Amino acid sequence: MKLDQSSSVPAQLMAISTPRGKDYHLTLADGTQVWLNAESHLEFPDRFTGDKREVRLQGEAYFEVKKDAKHPFIVYSDYLTTRVLGTAFDVRARSARDASVTLVTGRVLVKTQDADQVLTPGQQASLAGSQLAVKAVDTYPYTQWKEGFFYFDNQTLFSIMQELARWYSVNVSFDDTSKMNVQLHFVVERNKSLGEAIANLNALGIVHARIEGGVIVID
């Protein structure tokens, strides 16, 4: 790949936003593949110039970066900056509480204002105050959303409900707040209706959810 550095026409800034209940796959000018999750926003140039390939993310995206050692690929967010040469990784940047970078292949450098850390495959960096906390993770759950599945492995019911609410554009109410921290293994296709997803959740026999006036109620 050769970046166009000679054109006198400046690169144009592009942007794509996904609403609740929709995701989107796009190919950037350098051949990098991006899967943008629901309720996310990506800014990128229509062509890359100079010595860096830079994009900015709000929300969540999965990147398969086209290798180019001379032009590092950099993903900026409000919480973390990720610098790569060519690799596959998931970036979450919805809030400081759940901001993370999960590396599937290759190597990345994750930075905050006060810290930086090189990740190897199977590692995840997240915020711990202004520092970076790194741990080993199973990367499979972090890639399944782009394959069309909700995949939760030992996740709290509160986290699961947050994702379902974002996708189906509904609110959630916990009549029994003690259920918020119940951990579940739950998998369902994202093209299922909300009613089907709730029925599958109830079939686990651990919690009970119902839909009432556009609200998922946990009782």
What is the percent of the chain where pLDDT is above 70?
Answer: 96
pLDDT tens across 31-45, in order?
999 999 999 999 999
pLDDT over threshold 90, residue 7: no
**Which one has a higher pLDDT value, 9 or 209?**
209
pLDDT confidence bin for 113, thresholds 50/70/90: confident
Question: Which tokens belong to 7?
Answer: 């054109």
Global pTM reads: 0.89
pLDDT tens across 19-31, in order?
999 999 999 999 9
Taking residues 156-174, report their average pLDDT. 95
Q: How far apart are CA 72 and CA 162, in angstroms?
A: 34
Q: How far apart are CA 78 and CA 70, in angstroms?
A: 26
Average pLDDT, the chain: 93
Where does the chain show beta strands of DSSP type E? 13-18, 24-27, 33-36, 40-45, 53-64, 73-76, 81-84, 88-93, 100-105, 108-111, 116-119, 123-128, 131-136, 149-156, 171-174, 183-189, 209-212, 215-218
Taking residues 100-119, report their average pLDDT. 94
pLDDT over threshold 90, residue 195: yes
Q: What integer pLDDT is reported at residue 5 of this predicted model?
A: 46
Q: What integer pLDDT is reported at residue 8 of this predicted model?
A: 59
